[in-house]
Amino acid sequence: MAINEQGVYAHARQYSCSHFDARPQGEVSLLVIHCISLPEGQYGTPHIDALFAGCLDCDAHPSFSSLQGVRVSAHCLIDRQGRVRQYVPFSERAWHAGVSQFAGRERCNDFSIGIELEGTDHSDYTPAQYQSLAQLTLAIIQRYPQITRERIVGHSDIAPGRKTDPGEAFDWTYFFDLTFSGNCDRLKEI
């Protein structure tokens, strides 16, 4: 399997993160797609890694002042080139969803996996990001079969009015077609 029993994805580079804890029930049944860039719209900076590691220099950019003391993480980030970084094993609870609800159940961090795409709500995502996200999603579904197509959502779906990501630029139809059609040669590597 592409994801081992400890929740580590074989096709990801592992990064340090201190912002996670144990899942209260061990259940993994929801996949949440996000977007992030620090500063917004700037790509390839070291700031996302630093944020998730808890060592972001909040004086490095004026927009970082609101991040002072914030403890946040995601399980993975897919950069603009489609490279996957893993910060938190899927078996653990990352702190990505905040105040959230899905199907009448609150505290989505308890039972979800959070995947960040390097981007903004209004910028197109790259073909490489869609490819990697589709491949990762299939690996997640294989390892955690409670996650079905209907249980793959955006941050905006579980925190409406508070969050808007992955935004209007995310092509859900293309992503689902790529993930579930079986037409992608790269996906067959799983």
Instruction: Render pLDDT for 3-24 as a digit per residue (tens, 0 to 9).
Output: 999 999 999 999 999 999 999 9
pTM for the structure as a whole = 0.95
| Cα–Cα distance measured from residue 47 to residue 43, given in angstroms and rounded to the nearest whole number | 10
Question: 158 is written with which tokens?
Answer: 């579980």
Residue 131's H or E segment, with its range, is: helix 127-143
Residue 118 known to be catalytic: no
| Residue positions counted in the chain | 190
Instruction: Render pLDDT for 148-165 as a digit per residue (tens, 0 to 9).
Output: 999 999 999 999 999 999
Between 25-29, 91-95, 149-153, 168-172, the lowest mean confidence (pLDDT) is in: 25-29
Is the pLDDT reported for residue 190 higher than 90? no
Instruction: Render pLDDT for 129-139 as a digit per residue (tens, 0 to 9).
Output: 999 999 999 99
Cα 121 to Cα 31, 45, 107, 156, 168: the distances in Å are 18, 18, 23, 10, 6
* Cβ pair 102, 139 in contact under 8 A: no
One of 106, 116, 118, 189 is an active-site residue; which one?
116
